[in-house]
Structures are given as C-alpha cells and as structure tokens.
Amino acid sequence: MRLLWIFILISCTLLSCSKDEGGRIPDAYVNFQITHQEFSIKTASTNGLLLVNRNAGGGVAGLIIYKGSYNSYVAFDRCSSVNPEQACAVVPDDLNLTATDPCSGAKFSLTDGSPVKAPAKRGLKEYRVIITNFGLTVTN
C-alpha cells in the first residue's frame, strides 16, 4: 500500500510540471475610442490600418487596428510575442497584410494576429473591438 501511495505522489508531481514557453504579452490597460469619420481620414493612405501610440490608447507597445473586408475590425497590441519583455513594436509591411518585429524579424498576419514567420510561435495579443453607429472602441 505504501508503494502505491509513493507511485501516485511521484506521478502527480511529474504530471503537474510543465514547461512555460514564454512569449506571453503582459496585460496592459487598453481604452481607445475613435469615430468612423476620424478612422477613415487617418487611414486613407494606409488602406485601413491605424497605428496608435501607447500613450493614446494603451497596450504594452501601442495598438494596431486593421479594417478588413465587410467593415470588420481587429485590434492587436503592437508588442511582439517574441521576447515580449523587450516591448518591441511590430511595424506593418508595405501591403498591410503582415507586420514585422524589427527586433527578431518575426512576421504576423494582420487579419488574425497569427505568426507567419519564425521565430514567432504565438500570435499577437488581440483586443476587443466594439463597433457602434458613431465609432469604434478598443478595450480589454
């Protein structure tokens, strides 16, 4: 009986251990509002892509808001998931379909935040976008 309890204790101890891969973007306060008209004006030359300074809207490294097809919006923290402690802000590429981490060279899709090119293993941190008749609110 004693041997059974030792086996159970060792099994529980081994099964409860897990390796944390890192790459988790820390939580940060996010509250950004913009009217539809202001969004259209600010994104006229960037095909529906808006970069928001950290001081203006929050996030670890600021926000990146992308207007997709059928007036759908997504918002991500600009902080790369590769070494997030560096708070390296991703930069949109020329076609606005991906964004690159200038510190590591990793690429992320702007349609869903997923990693596109190594060394990224995790996607960008996504925030909630609330669409009203008057504008957008990005929050967490």
Q: Is residue 120 within 8 Å of residue 80, measured between CB atoms? A: yes
Domain that holds residue 122: 22-139
Alpha-carbon gap, residue 88 to 12, rounded angstroms: 39
Q: Is residue 4 part of a domain?
A: no
Q: Which residues contact 61 (CB under 8 A, 6 or more apart)?
A: 54, 77, 78, 79, 80, 87, 88, 89, 90
Q: Is residue 10 part of a domain?
A: no
pLDDT digits (tens, 9 = 90+) for 31-85: 999 999 999 999 988 889 999 999 888 899 999 999 988 889 999 999 999 999 9
pLDDT digits (tens, 9 = 90+) for 81-112: 999 999 899 999 987 789 999 999 999 999 99
Q: Is residue 130 part of a domain?
A: yes
CATH label of the domain that carries residue 133 = 2.102.10.10
Q: Is residue 3 part of a domain?
A: no
Domain count, the chain: 1
Q: Is residue 105 part of a domain?
A: yes
Q: Is residue 7 part of a domain?
A: no
Q: Is residue 9 part of a domain?
A: no
Neighbours of 70 (CB within 10 A): 5
